[in-house]
Amino acid sequence: MSETLTLTNQHACFSGTVQFYRHPSTTCNCEMRFSVYVPPQAQQQPVPVLYFLSGLTCTEENFTAKAGAQRYAAEHGLLLVAPDTSPRGDDVPDEVDAWDFGKGAGFYVDAIAAPWNQHYQMYSYIVDELPALINAHFPVQSDRAGIFGHSMGGHGALVCGLRNPDKFRSISALAPIAAPMQCPWGEKAFSNYLGSDRATWAAYDASELVKTYANPERLILIDQGTADTFLEQKQLLPDVFEVACQQAKQPLILRMQPGYDHGYYFISSFVGDHIQHHATILKRA
């Protein structure tokens, strides 16, 4: 793992700082980018860290610029990290005609099928390489980390959080792809990144993983808009995840929010609740 970080931009925000970085990634075999919000409390002492995973077509900038999350991160004293959603660069393979696969659509899996396996190792990047960089270069309490995300990133947050309770104490999601093995987005991504063996896919499906990784002491929060067109198209399937949680005795709060769609007006309306959810858990003695 390389520890070379290059600061590309920074902005004062709610008495803290929004910072953008790029670095050479040995996991993804290319340059990767992420943003960090350093809250004012970090000037005095290490703080808990919260990772946000964005959705299809997004970069490290969308959530950072649109969600209004820094206000709440400053209030609760959390360092907020938002990585890019896929490898980038001229040497990275892409599906040019597909917005839901390839660049901007890494699906937070470790690809095993060629040519994607040379770069698309987003699961290991989120779980291992990125936290190691954050822990080495920022004033964080490395044993107090949480993870949340939106849409494809909600899927990633559920998967990474469920499979790694030792690394992520808290989990939440906004309109996640909650059962990707049963929806068109997930079937397309998994068949290309992981091959045709559906047994391999289950390692990246939250509705399957909760059967093994349910934790009665860890509450998961999910918000879902009722006017979300992707909900109507059966891409998200929160009801499948809800049933799986009930059967596995996994504590879940699934809030169906009337009238809200899939975009950043929805995210910005509830991101404060999610940051409070994580802060309550991460600051617990």
| Residue range 246-261, pLDDT digits in tens | 999 999 999 999 999 9
Asked whether residue 181 is assigned to any structural domain, the reply reads: yes
Asked if omega into 184 is within 30° of 0 (cis), the reply is no
- pLDDT tens for 160-192 read 999 999 999 999 999 999 999 999 999 999 999
Query: How far is the C-alpha of 263 from the C-alpha of 55, rounded, in Å?
Result: 10
If you average pLDDT over residues 238-252, what whole number do you get? 98
Is 128 assigned a catalytic role?
A: no
2 annotated active-site: no
**Of the residues 151, 170, 172, 207, which is catalytic?**
151
Closest C-alpha among 264, 266, 159 to residue 220: 159
Expressed in percent and rounded to 5, the helix, strand and coil fractions of the chain are 40, 25, 35
Please count the CA atoms within 13 angstroms of the CA of 189 that sit on its side-chain side: 34
The residue range of the domain holding 114 is: 6-283
Domain contains 51: yes
Question: Is residue 155 within 8 Å of 176, Cβ to Cβ?
Answer: yes
Instruction: Answer yes or no: is 27 within a domain.
Output: yes
Q: Which of 23, 119, 155, 262 is catalytic?
A: 262
Model pTM greater than 0.75? yes
1 domain-assigned: no
CA proximity to 43, closest of 144, 134, 138, 135? 138
pLDDT score for 41? 98
Decide if 207 is catalytic: no
| DSSP class of 101 | S
Residue 155 lies in a domain: yes
In a domain, 183, yes or no: yes
CATH number at residue 211: 3.40.50.1820
Domain count of the fold of the chain: 1
pLDDT confidence tier of residue 3, bands split at 50, 70 and 90: low
94 inside domain: yes
Whole-number Cα distances in Å, 177 to 46, 128, 164, 206: 33, 22, 19, 9
| CA gap 140, 12 in Å, rounded | 19
pLDDT exceeds 80 at position 29: yes
